[in-house]
Amino acid sequence: MKKTVTILLATLGIISLLAVIRYKPDSPNTATVPDPSSSDSSTLSPNQTATNSTGNTNSSPSASYKDGSFSGDTAETEYGPVQVTAVISGGKISGVKFLQLPSDRGHSIEVSNFSAPQLRQEALQAQSANVDIVSGATQTTYGFQRSLQSALDQARA
C-alpha cells in the first residue's frame, strides 16, 4: 500500500536536525492519563472490585450467578439500541446474546461456515493485566458493557 509522505515532508526538516541520536533504555514516565494495563482496578465496575487481584489462584469472579438467561437494560449506541442477554450455566457466564439490534428486520441471524482444521479451540480464560499495553475496547461503559452489567446484576445469586 502506498504510504502518505505529505506530512513527512513538513516534519523531515525538523527531524533532519536530530541526525545523531544516542539513547539508552529509559524507564517510562508517568502517563497523563491512567494506563488501563497498569492496574487491575482502574476501570472496574463496582461489582468487580472485590474479585480482581493478581496471584489469586482459582478465582472465579462470576461463580455466584444464578443459572438461566437474564436480559439487561437497553443501552443506546451510535447505531441504535442494544440489549444484551447473559446466559448463565453452572453459575458462570456461558454466552451472550443481542436483542434489539439496529436494523433488525426480523430475519434470522446468518451463520457463515468456516473451515475448522487449522483452528484451535480452547476455553476462554481470564488473566490479570500485567502487560505493556492492551488491545481491545477502551471504554468500559459503552452500550454493550452497560447492558451486560445490568444483566449480570439480575443474575447475581
Window 70-89: residues binding other proteins (CB under 8 A): 78-79, 82
What is the SS3 assignment for 156?
strand
- 75 pairs with which residues across the strands? 82
Q: Which of 13, 46, 138, 157 binds other proteins (CB under 8 A)?
A: 138
| CA 102 – CA 48 distance, rounded (Å) | 29
Q: What's the closest the beta carbon of residue 67 comes to other proteins, in angstroms?
A: 15
Sign of the Cα torsion 113, 72, 37, 137 reads: positive
The smaller minimum CB distance to other proteins, of residues 64 and 101, is found at 101
| CA 54 – CA 10 distance, rounded (Å) | 46
C-alpha cell at 119: 483452528
Q: Does 91 bind other proteins (CB under 8 A)?
A: no
Q: Does 11 bind other proteins (CB under 8 A)?
A: yes
Q: Does 144 bind other proteins (CB under 8 A)?
A: yes
Site for other proteins in 18-37 (CB under 8 A): 18, 21-29, 31-33, 35-37
